Amino acid sequence: MVRMDYTMGERATVLRAELRRLVAEHVPDDYLGAFTDDPADLAVAQEFCRLLADRGLLCIAWPEEFGGGGGSAWEQTVVREEMWAHHEPRGAQYMGVNWVGPTIMRHGTPDQQRLHLPSIARGEVIWCQGFSEPEAGSDLASLRTAARPDGDGWRISGQKIWTSYATMAQWCFLLARTATGAKKQDGLTIFLVPMSTPGIEVRPIRSLMGPHHLNEVFFDDVRVEPTDVLGTVGDGWRVVQEVLSFERVGIARYARCERLLLAAPGVLGDQWDGLPPELRARWSRMLVHCRRARLLAYRVVALQNDGQVTPGDAAAYRIAVTRLDQDSAEVLMEIAGAASLTGPDGVRFRREVEDHWRYAQASTVASGSIEIQRMLLSRALLAAS
């Protein structure tokens, strides 16, 4: 049984206030994320990451020996919530902070830890994730990118797709097949690959989400060294399952939904009372769903903290929060469309709502489709029955 009376404590309250102050002082009012056509937005994110790192806040829950702040998982949760609520001014760094770094802590060699962890903790390096392929998206274990032995190292050939941040990343957390086993999950290996390695080509995929998010990455006989293998050769699937459970709770989508929903009455002013009662009722239901998603997230954080999280736990949260993301986006778009939004606050609110709607369209596909999450949850419930 998991307790549900989550108390973050006074330190979390102080931390939340500090993060909001830093955002207000160092992030422009019109900032809607790092991945736009304006290079200044990415520069804002990189500078803000260094600011957080200098204050020990970027990797607040990491052990101090790895460059972190030695804080609690709940303090890290506060950072997640405030960053996502304010359009993720860490940019792409959340990937390294939330799961690449912790995975290297658990499975990396001392040399890999010394090479990678300090630069992540300082906000100096961007990682991308080489998982999905054209024929292996939700069915990740069917991937075809292959690594064949080459002396004491490997040669990797294949294609990845939907690879966020690949145009700007210095490193790729890559999953490739090194052998064929009795099950398709067998024989998979993780490689930590520099994106500057000869034979890697990145082709951007334009989308509603902006120019830096989605890419194809081609590996043409790419040479990697034995020191680039993370963990044990052939044991990559076990590590990936752990990775995905962390990734799927690493984005606090409910925090942005809640902030925008709560802002709506104040921005609309007198126009709020003129909205259709049915629309205001849906707005109320969305706030209830925000609280539900938050509690599910806290439950998974508590389980992770105790080393008990399962794929089913992460899947339940993902289903709730991605549905919330899309449903709240539809309600907010209707609210914004039904009102005359003028002045700086009104214009900004409309832009934020439109940005939220664009990102929400992919939320039930990213990090494993909602159909796969339902399968994982169903298996967990059947196993427990």
Q: What is the pLDDT of residues 259-269, one digit of tens each?
A: 999 999 999 99
pLDDT category at 54 given cuts 50, 70, 90 is very high
The pLDDT of residue 216: 96
- Per-residue model confidence as pLDDT tens digits over 213-260: 789 999 999 999 999 999 999 999 999 887 776 655 667 899 999 999
Q: Mean per-residue pLDDT for 377-381?
A: 76
**Which residues have a Cβ under 8 Å from the Cβ of 31 and sit 6 or more positions away?**
41, 44, 87, 89
**Distance from C-alpha of 264 to C-alpha of 256, rounded to nearest angstrom:** 13
pLDDT in tens, 19-39: 999 999 999 999 999 888 888
Taking residues 358-377, report their average pLDDT: 74
Is 364 a residue whose pLDDT tops 70? no
Q: What is the pLDDT of residues 90-104, one digit of tens each?
A: 988 988 998 899 999
pTM as predicted: 0.87
> Mind listing the pLDDT tens digit for each residue in 106-134?
999 999 999 999 999 999 999 999 999 99
Q: Report the alpha-carbon distance of residue 23 to residue 360 in Å, rounded.
A: 23
Q: Output 286 or 369, whichever has higher pLDDT.
A: 286
> Which structural domains are found in the chain, ordered by start?
10-125 (1.10.540.10), 129-234 (2.40.110.10), 248-384 (1.20.140.10)
Distances 78 to 9, 74, 157, 247, 335 between C-alpha atoms, Å:
11, 6, 40, 16, 28
Please give the share of the chain, as a percent, with pLDDT higher than 90.
65
DSSP state of 176: E
Active-site entry in 81, 88, 247, 258: 247
Distance between CA atoms of residues 298 and 305, nearest Å: 10
Highest mean pLDDT among 164-168, 295-299, 331-335: 331-335
Q: Work out the average pLDDT over 152-172.
A: 94
Does position 181 have pLDDT exceeding 70, yes or no? yes
pLDDT surpasses 70 at 367: no
> Helices (H) and strands (E) in the chain — how many of each?
12, 8
Is 64 annotated as catalytic? no
